[in-house]
Amino acid sequence: MSDIDIRIEGHAGRITLNRPKALNAMTYEMCLAIEAAFDQWRDDDAVQLVLFDAAGDRAFCSGGDIADLYEQGTKGNFAYGQKFWADEYRLNHKIFAYPKPVISFLQGFTMGGGVGIGCHGSHRIVGESSQIAMPECGIGLVPDVGGSLLLALAPGRLGEYLGITATRMGPQDAIFSGFADHYIPELNWPDLIGKLTQTGDPDVISQAAKPASGGTFEGQMAQINTLFAGETLSDILTDLRHASGSFAETALKMIGRSSPLSAACTVEMMHRLRGPSLSMEKALELEYRFTYRASEHGDFLEGIRAAIIDKDRKPKWQYADADVPLAAVAKMLQPLGAQALKL
């Protein structure tokens, strides 16, 4: 069986991720295959909408398959990762700007690279098992694949909170944060997919949607806006350390798992992106400045070593005391000149 099943059914271009044992983690080949399908279907009148789903019930897509990036990076082949990210971001941009409806069914884990393909379409459907997160800071990256755009658009200071704590969102919180649109019980998904392929009409989605429940963010926004308003990571950490209560305590513990350099850059990215000039192009270009340098100058290789190679969960981060100099943040996010991302 292939890692990905791409076909036309009825009026729908269908893309099914098919690596359930690997939680449908995206390989480079899968990324290129999805892009080729999107290019082919753009002007094909037989395809009225594009529909993403995934095999298995544990994950839509748990992220990118990063073992190859580690292997090449440890050999000093930084160009491999730079090309991988440039190609992946180009796909994320195509999904975001696609002229036809793009519908995704996000069961289980949707994280990192899964957000990049599943959360930029026009109709993002969650169910009772959905868990969406941007956990990149924990492996020495920043929220990327266009995720920084979603974070910057989230209410209040939720972007900083989600970006540096990697908090997982259930269905209601994902909708509140702007990472999803509709809650539909997963038992109803097969029937809905059948209607979408038969009719090519995305309006059947809103007819099937139900109210989601169980979210916590709305009730926490006052704390989030107060405690994550700092100009820098250091400011946020200071506010959290001086706050009382379990919310601040848990947030500090979760930030403690992140690369301090990555977390500091994530906070700076939120501040740079917010405002009237926010665009997907600007978000991807800023993300690429970081990921372009992540293997050589950031904590990415050490983050991968600790998480998936040695699995000791004891990364030796730069700036382990979380006191990240402004110059280090500026260096990771400075323009790339001729190497800048081309969409």
Which CATH number is 272's domain given?
3.90.226.10
Distance CA 231, CA 223 (A): 16
Q: Where does residue 173 rank: exposed (0-12), middle (13-18), buried (19+ CB within 10 A)?
A: buried
The tokens of 233 are what?
A: 């990571």
Q: What is the pTM of this model?
A: 0.97
pLDDT for 263 = 98
pLDDT for 1 = 62
Look up tokens 């080949």; give the residue. 29
Of 118, 130, 155, 135, residue with least CA distance to 57: 130
Q: Which domain holds residue 26?
A: 1-343
What is the domain count for the chain? 1
pLDDT (tens, 9 = 90+) of the chain, 343 residues, equals 699 999 999 999 999 999 999 999 999 999 999 999 999 999 999 999 999 999 999 999 999 888 889 999 999 999 999 999 999 999 999 999 999 999 999 999 999 999 999 999 999 999 999 999 999 999 999 999 999 999 999 999 999 999 999 999 999 999 999 999 999 999 999 999 999 999 999 999 999 999 999 999 999 999 999 999 999 999 999 999 999 999 999 999 999 999 999 999 999 999 999 999 999 999 999 999 999 999 999 999 999 999 999 999 999 999 999 999 999 999 999 999 999 999 9
Q: Phi, psi (5° rounding) for residue 183?
A: -100, 125
DSSP string, 161-192: HHHHH---B-HHHHHHHTS--EE--GGGHHHH
Distance CA 269, CA 149 (A): 10
Q: Where are the beta strands (DSSP E) in the chain?
A: 4-9, 12-17, 49-54, 59-61, 102-106, 109-111, 123-126, 131-133, 182-183
Distance CA 267, CA 258 (A): 13
Query: Cα 24–107–18 angle (5° rounding)?
Result: 25
What are the CA-CA distances from residue 235 to residues 221, 230, 240, 250, 253 (Å)?
18, 5, 9, 17, 16
